[in-house]
Structure 1
Amino acid sequence: MFLHNARRGYDYQIKLRVFLRFLVSIGVMRRSEPSGDEEHGGLRPFRDWLRRHRGCTERRSLVHIHAINKLLPQMGDDPSRYDAALINRVMLQNLESTSRASVQIMCGALRMYLRFLAATGACAPGLVGAVPRIPRWRLATLPRYILNDDVERVIASCDPITPRGLRDRAIILLLARLALRGGDVANLHLEDIDWDNGLIRVAGKTRYAVALPLPQDAGDALLAYIEHGRPIVASSKVFIRSIAPFVPFSTSGAVSIVVRDALTRAGVDNANLRGAYLLRHSAATNMLRSGATLDAVGALLRHRSPETTAIYAKVDTTLLAQVTQPWIGGAA
């Protein structure tokens, strides 16, 4: 009940923010809350540096900016006075009151920020090594996924008669067939679709786009939505809200809501992850269980390192059974 109420509260906040942005856009009200850059003006060069020298997307840059905004009041605005003792003290303070995942994000953002400061001569380069590393056992859990039959039920739950059903079907097919991230779908533009060659360009977590083959059913669903379900708007983004105000998807959160609603309609209640990443994990897992190699799965997921794909090796229970050694002293 608690998780259900929390989810409803989160959905309400998203809808409220969308409505407030709409009121600002038509001039009914003015934006009064300061942005991260207004709170700490020195972070705008940091954002530019992230995009130019680290290849960060706008969303990833904002994650770093948000984390540094939280840390700067504790660290102070004078980088020349930063030292290892200060960095460790600040991170330990946050570790006591913040989740491990949030502290990991803070540590990554702080390393980036210190590299930026070192590159501009504002602090010593060696301070990057003073940021503690929070243990993360990446292979300690199994990927969360649903079987192919459930994936097909989720796809079939979208009503192709309505504009929203056309949109949701196209979104879910892109996630399920190409293992895209929610951000890939939310940031997809009309010019990213190469109809002549059957390709779709996505940038993932960086600015560098790659071309992926567009499966027939996903391409048909995408075309049907663009021709018959997509509202006529000035934006070149593919996916638009189905109710007024007709604005494009701004974050991956909207894509996750589409998946969550489709899971509910399909009656798939055995998934402990109910967002866009569930279909990404499911595509990789079912591909591996069907006999694909880890290299092939890594290529589909666009992983830079084979270690990132290694977590999926644990779901191939048939292969694992072949290499399992009998327990010493156990039954024959």
Structure 2
Amino acid sequence: MNKQLDEQLHSFTEYLQIEKHYSVHTFEQYRHDIEEFYVFMKEQGLRSLKDVEYSDARLFLTKLHDHGLKRSSVSRKVSSIRSFYRYLNREKQLLDNPFSFVNLPKKEQRLPAFFYEEEIQALLDACNGDTPLELRNLAIFELLYATGIRVSECTNIQLGDVDLGMSTLLVKGKGKKERYVPFGSFANDALEQYILHSRPKLAKDGSHTQLLLNHRGGALTQRGIRLILNKIIEKASLTGKIHPHMLRHTFATHLLNNGADLRTVQELLGHAQLSSTQLYTHVSKDQLRKTYLAHHPRA
């Protein structure tokens, strides 16, 4: 990589960190995509970004397809490079953006997996118990299902973020955006039992301010939550796999199935774009269709 390309990439990643507040994982992904494009430029004898033309952008897209990448991966890489050029245009370092008119491949429409209400009840039954860890596990499950928060948001919750009196949770989401999410009486009871009777026994030295603690008294990690949920589904004897995001999918699907409007669900999930939330309407319609076929006498 020559000095100019290196400086341009460094400037862009600083912009993603400082101005856009992107996570380390996100801007590293941008960096990787752009460095991959730099390798392509070297193969094509292109020494600077201003030498890249629309035909080169199309050739790069073709090469990505030839490598057998998924459409979602191709779209992400092209979006990364397009954003990079857009930033350099804004900074007056480049005049053109050869990726402006490159059509992104349509993403595969995968419907998010979710649990039916009877499955949720079976999982809740599997959480029963009165040991400190069992009370904690029930609080985790109730909280994820009641709020639809991401597992990363769950592990970042501080004790002061929980308001049991108002049954609300302060959630720090992507891009350092904050939102308040309500939760119901079942989650409130589970959290109260955990905070009053379980957490003090898990907290060894009392130095951690995180809400959720592991068996050693340290902050619970995302991997820890995944292990807990896997144990719950094994105990419930349900077939298939569970991952934390399934409870987020279930939260959204159940709200929509029971009449919640799309904008409200968008706010609760912390989605920046309504299109991200609209994916769940397909799940809801599918569920409505199954119910119709199962119960209508002339279906």
TM class, shorter-length: 0.7 to 0.9
> What CA deviation, in whole Å up to 9, does each residue of 1:245-299 have, x standing for no partner?
x4552xx555444333322221121x4x621121111122222223333344333
Contact 1:200/1:211 (CA < 8 Å) preserved in 2? yes
Provide the rounded CA distance (Å) in 2 between the counterparts of 1:197 and 1:145: 28
RMSD of equivalent CA atoms: 3.6
What amino acid does structure 2 have at the position aligned with 1:183? Answer: S
> Are the structure 2 counterparts of residues 83 and 201 from structure 1 closer, same or farther at C-alpha, using a change threshold of 3 Å?
farther
Selected match of 2:11 from 40, 45, 54: 45
CA 1:86–1:226 in structure 2 vs 1: closer, same or farther (change >3 Å)? farther
Structure 2 counterpart SS, 1:238: coil
Q: Is the 8 A contact 1:154 1:262 kept in 2?
A: yes
Does residue 291 of structure 1 match 2:264? no
For the pair 1:178 / 2:138, whether they are aligned, the reply is no
- In the superposition, relative to structure 1, how do residues 241 and 212 fare at CA in structure 2: closer, same or farther (>3 Å)? same
Q: Residue 115 and residue 221 in structure 1: after superposition, are their counterparts in 2 closer, same or farther (change >3 A)?
A: farther
Q: Say which of 67, 84, 97 aligns to 2:54.
A: 84
Q: Which residue of 1 aligns with 2:97?
A: 126
Classify the secondary structure of the residue corresponding to 2:97: helix
Q: What's the offset of the Cα at 1:183?
A: 2.2
The equivalent of 1:146 in structure 2 is: 115
Distance 1:115 1:207 in 2: 23
Change (3 A) 1:167 1:323: closer
Contact 1:83–1:127 under 8 Å retained in 2? yes
Distance verdict in 2 for CA 1:321–1:147, change over 3 Å = closer
Indicate yes or no: 2:179 matched with 1:210: yes
- What TM-score comes out, normalization by structure 1 length? 0.68
Give the gaps of 5 or more residues in structure 1. 1-39, 325-330
The answer for unaligned runs of 5 or more in structure 2 is: 1-5
**Distance in 2 between the 1:63 and 1:316 partners?**
34
SS of 1:127 mapped into structure 2: coil
Deviation of the 1:144 alpha carbon: 1.7
Partner of 1:74: 40
Alignment partner of 1:228 is 2:228: no
Partners of 1:241 and 1:247 lie apart in 2 by 6
1:279 aligns with 2:247: yes
User: Aligned to 1:126, what secondary structure does the other structure show?
Assistant: coil
